[in-house]
DNA sequence: AGCGCTCGCGTAAAGGTTTTCAGAGCCGGA
DNA sequence: TCCGGCTCTGAAAACCTTTACGCGAGCGCT
């Protein structure tokens, strides 16, 4: 009926017992032949494999995990999968996991702490051995407590917790941190604007308490200071992230002042919104205003103009997270890894318009 | 030491036995109280729940799945997670799955049939009850055979297979199809160009054998024909998908001819590449050439100019896939569902330049 | 020839949960 | 008073695989 050979059992899954029976061995031998955990004579092995193929045998991962105590599964938790940056990180995790035959499950929280907790709980039930929490977050007491709870809970069942782009947990908390060096990236790109001659640079997209953004702001301020500019030169607009926020904040800013020649957007999506707002206001980039972004999302080179930005190799971040977590079994707990970034120069930065530079 | 209360067991996971013991009931009663599958007096129930909370009990999903025969898990398979369209579909699946307490795992194939097969096999082992294959594909014999194999294999263990944006399988194959009506979408957007006055419209991004693209081409041709234009008016460039392909093909085309006033890109990423190529050639959009895309990816409104395109609600596609698969248990096998699309008008279409319209 | 070692393989236990079956206690009706 | 039926609960089986243990046979060495 199914057209798949006369050996198909019509109901229920075929188990290792049936394979063993058909191969004329015990389930123990069949298991050894199939899993390769224990040597088995070639002839026997071939007979078992043959039987398994004939019956279209599929091992039951649950039974296997039950006795084996755990399973090869990694979980990656992001705010939303559709954000280009998070998608790249998730892809990195998935790729690195797949390379080692691990399964990768993704959870989206939408930024909701409740959903994050539920998902971590679910991962505990599922026996995930690696949970990777991705994305900046504002660091308050509730957050610290939550992470401490995750870390201990996962640790007690032998699983690892990795924080990507999140603040380091309190000392003693068994979690790893892998992130980009936001401060040097921001420093570099601010320096790029400074050496193009800009002196009045506004930072668009601050989010006080969010350690990733705070670090970028710090790098921005440091670069300004190193150029001998007084601290009050710094102008940080705390509008948060995302295209809509960038658009709104830029529009608003233009109403208040035009006393700036460059914009450092905290994120490429913010830059996208800002670029549109500038265009709507009849300003040309980089003729009237120069703009830089952060993260180098895949479409940044198609912005108008192509965006000068800081490349944060997001996929590599994901890969590094699983690699590091799986490498140093015990030693690494509490370790803090920083990944390098580099600036990519495109067409959105030019000299400041004459007469407006300081 | 852990600071989490004096009831923490230091080694190993706490099982339902320990919960039962502490609550003074049997494991059967504990299970009933915890899972809610069977009524239990409020007092007993409270005692069990209390014990579980005190011990930080976490159910073992494997044991549960082992006895329950399967588990609430959906798998979504895409070419790559970083493609905006696929990411949105995956997000839809994840969201709909999460709404029902299901787990969602994603697999990326990179377009490799081998990896697709391995992943489906893995899902069989894991006991996924729903596998969703997303994304157009060129339909050859090997493909049809592969899908037939997946469908039968999954069906025999009671799992469902959903094809999103893929060709319908041969009749009798137990798989559902959910996709957008590419033909009417393409028809509509072509009509939009026609009523703006364009007569020489080139379709950029054909991929013969890919049913999704073929359908768009068909809609494009049909709209042309309905306007009384001779068939040879149609000009399809088979460059495939992606930003790079669009850029290359557009650059190439401009070298050969400028006898067109509008471009219908088979996909927004192709449009992104084409827009850049047009800008590089010094052509203005929509002044010299009008451009439309397909899919309405999130950044389409930030293209230069904002892109008129066809909105294919990708997240809804993902949600619909799981909803439909889970709704009609038996009846739906082989069903073919079409989701509507609509055109979204932005600034990339204008009247053809005077003297060049037919 | 005899001893001991290795190899191959089968038996059985273990892993944690759900569920079936049945027993116990209780209430109400006859 | 007795019995039917209902509610609550516990013992035990079942789900499928892996692995520790042990046994028998074969082989090489003395």
Instruction: Output the pLDDT for position B349.
Output: 97
Instruction: Output the pLDDT for position B326.
Output: 87
Core vs surface per residue B158-191: b (16+ CB within 10 A) or e:
ebbbbbbbbbbbeeebbbbbbbbbbbbbbbbbbb
A5 inside 8 A of chain B by CB: no
Phi-psi category of B322—alpha, beta or left, where left has phi over 0 and alpha has psi -120 to 50? alpha
Confidence of residue B48 (pLDDT cuts 50, 70, 90): very high
Question: What residues contact residue B192 under an 8 Å CB cut-off, 6+ apart?
Answer: B292, B308, B343, B345, B349
The neighbouring-strand residues paired with B236 are B203
Mean pLDDT over residues B16-34, rounded? 94
Contacts of A174 in chain B (CB under 8 A): none
Instruction: Output the pLDDT for position B172.
Output: 87
Mean pLDDT over residues B201-205, rounded? 96
Mean pLDDT over residues B170-177, rounded? 90
State the Cα–Cα distance between residues A15 and A22, nearest whole angstrom: 11
In this predicted model, what pLDDT tens digit does every residue of A254-275 receive, in sequence order?
999 999 999 999 999 999 999 9
Kindly tell me if the per-residue pLDDT of B269 is higher than 80. Answer: yes
Instruction: Output the pLDDT for position A296.
Output: 96
**Percent of chain A scored above 90 by pLDDT?**
73
Confidence of residue A11 (pLDDT cuts 50, 70, 90): low
Instruction: Output the pLDDT for position A2.
Output: 36
Question: What residues contact residue A232 under an 8 Å CB cut-off, 6+ apart?
Answer: none
Name which of A70, A106, A117 to mutate to probe chain B: the one with the most chain B Cβ atoms within 10 A of its Cβ. Answer: A106
- Strand D bases contacted by the protein (CB, 7 Å): 7-12, 14-20
Contacts of A95 in chain B (CB under 8 A): 108
- Name the average pLDDT for chain B: 90
**Percent of chain B scored above 70 by pLDDT?**
94
Q: Report the relative pairing of strands B309-311 and B342-344 from DSSP bridges.
A: antiparallel
The DSSP output letter for A352 is P
Confidence of residue B226 (pLDDT cuts 50, 70, 90): very high
Phi-psi category of A111—alpha, beta or left, where left has phi over 0 and alpha has psi -120 to 50? left
| CA proximity to B302, closest of A133, A171, A303, A217 | A303
State the Cα–Cα distance between residues B223 and B192, nearest whole angstrom: 10
In this predicted model, what pLDDT tens digit does every residue of A108-123 receive, in sequence order?
998 899 999 999 999 9
The neighbouring-strand residues paired with B132 are B76, B162
Task: For residue A108, give the nearest of B61, B91, B124 by CB distance.
Answer: B91
End-to-end CA gap in chain A: 83
Query: Is B13 (CB) below 7 Å from strand C?
Result: yes
Task: Identify the structural domains of chain A with CATH numbers, from first to last.
Answer: 16-59 (1.10.260.40), 72-181+314-340 (3.40.50.2300), 182-312 (3.40.50.2300)
Most confident of B66-75, B103-112, B280-289: B280-289
Q: Report the relative pairing of strands A336-339 and A290-292 from DSSP bridges.
A: unpaired
Distance from CA of B75 to the nearest CA of A (A): 9
In this structure, chain A runs to a length of: 358
In this predicted model, what pLDDT tens digit does every residue of B113-128 receive, in sequence order?
999 999 999 999 999 9
B199 in Cβ contact with B190 (< 8 Å): no
Q: Report the relative pairing of strands A342-344 and A309-311 from DSSP bridges.
A: antiparallel
| CA proximity to B225, closest of B263, B261, B259, B186 | B186
Instruction: Output the pLDDT for position A1.
Output: 34
Confidence of residue B12 (pLDDT cuts 50, 70, 90): low
In this predicted model, what pLDDT tens digit does every residue of B306-351 receive, in sequence order?
999 999 999 999 999 999 998 865 545 568 899 999 999 999 999 9
Question: What residues contact residue A122 under an 8 Å CB cut-off, 6+ apart?
Answer: A107, B103
In this predicted model, what pLDDT tens digit does every residue of A280-314 receive, in sequence order?
999 999 999 999 999 999 889 888 889 999 999 99
In this predicted model, what pLDDT tens digit does every residue of B140-170 receive, in sequence order?
899 999 999 999 999 888 889 999 988 888 8
Instruction: Output the pLDDT for position A229.
Output: 95
State the Cα–Cα distance between residues A137 and A242, nearest whole angstrom: 14
Distance from CA of A141 to the nearest CA of B (A): 17
Contact B298 A94 (CB under 8 A): no
Q: How distant is C1' of C1 from CA of A42, in Å?
A: 33
Consecutive H or E run containing A162: strand A160-164
- Name the average pLDDT for chain A: 90
Q: How distant is C1' of C18 from CA of B223, in Å?
A: 59
Instruction: Output the pLDDT for position A330.
Output: 55
Name which of B5, B62, B124, B318 to mutate to probe chain A: the one with the most chain A Cβ atoms within 10 A of its Cβ. Answer: B62
Question: What residues contact residue B5 under an 8 Å CB cut-off, 6+ apart?
Answer: B54
Contact B71 A62 (CB under 8 A): yes
In this predicted model, what pLDDT tens digit does every residue of A152-211 receive, in sequence order?
999 888 889 999 988 888 888 999 999 999 999 999 999 999 999 999 999 999 999 888
More confident residue, A357 or A165: A165
Sheet holding A201-204, edge to edge: A235-237, A201-204, A262-265, A290-292
Kindly tell me if the per-residue pLDDT of B201 is higher than 50. Answer: yes
DSSP secondary structure string, B92-142?
Answer: HHHHHHHHTT-EEEEEE-TT-HHHHHHHHHHHHHHT-SEEEEES--B--HH
The DSSP output letter for B347 is S
Phi-psi category of A209—alpha, beta or left, where left has phi over 0 and alpha has psi -120 to 50? left
State the Cα–Cα distance between residues A63 and A41, nearest whole angstrom: 25
Kindly tell me if the per-residue pLDDT of B358 is higher than 60. Answer: no
Nearest CA in chain A to B10: A156
B225 inside 8 A of chain A by CB: no
The neighbouring-strand residues paired with A357 are none
Query: Is A44 (CB) below 7 Å from strand C?
Result: yes
State the Cα–Cα distance between residues A226 and A273, nearest whole angstrom: 30
**Percent of chain B scored above 90 by pLDDT?**
73
């Amino acid at each position: 009926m199914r057209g798949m050979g006369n050996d198909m059992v019509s109901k229920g899954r075929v188990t290792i017992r049936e394979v063993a029976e058909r191969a004329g061995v015990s389930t123990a031998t069949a298991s050894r032949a199939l899993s390769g955990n224990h040597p088995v004579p070639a002839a026997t092995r071939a007979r078992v494999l043959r039987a398994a193929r004939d019956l279209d045998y599929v091992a039951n991962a649950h039974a296997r995990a039950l006795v084996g105590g755990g399973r090869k599964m990694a979980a990656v938790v992001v705010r939303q999968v559709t954000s280009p940056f998070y998608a790249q990180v998730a892809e990195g995790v998935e790729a690195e996991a797949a390379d080692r035959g691990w399964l990768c499950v993704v959870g989206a929280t939408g930024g909701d702490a409740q959903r994050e907790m539920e998902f971590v709980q679910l991962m505990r039930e599922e026996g995930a051995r690696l949970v990777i929490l991705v994305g900046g977050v504002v660091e308050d007491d509730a957050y610290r407590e939550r992470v401490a709870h995750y870390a201990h809970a996962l640790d007690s069942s032998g699983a690892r917790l990795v924080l990507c782009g999140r603040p380091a947990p309190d000392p003693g908390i068994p979690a790893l941190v892998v992130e980009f060096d936001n401060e040097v990236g921001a420093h570099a790109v601010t320096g790029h604007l400074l050496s193009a001659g800009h002196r009045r640079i506004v930072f668009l997209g601050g989010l006080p308490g969010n350690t990733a953004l705070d670090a970028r702001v710090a790098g921005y301020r440091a670069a300004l200071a190193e150029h001998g500019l007084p601290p009050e030169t710094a102008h940080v607009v705390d509008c948060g992230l995302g295209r809509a926020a960038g658009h709104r904040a830029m529009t608003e800013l233009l109403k208040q002042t035009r006393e700036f020649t460059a914009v450092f957007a905290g994120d490429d999506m913010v830059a996208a919104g800002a670029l549109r707002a500038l265009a709507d206001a009849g300003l040309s980039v980089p003729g009237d205003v120069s703009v830089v972004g952060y993260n180098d999302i895949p479409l940044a080179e198609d912005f108008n103009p192509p965006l000068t930005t800081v490349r944060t190799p997001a996929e590599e971040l994901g890969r590094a997270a699983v690699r590091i977590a799986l490498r140093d079994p015990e030693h690494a707990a509490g370790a803090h890894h920083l990944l390098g970034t580099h600036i990519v120069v495109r067409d959105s930065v030019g000299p400041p318009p004459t007469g407006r530079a300081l």
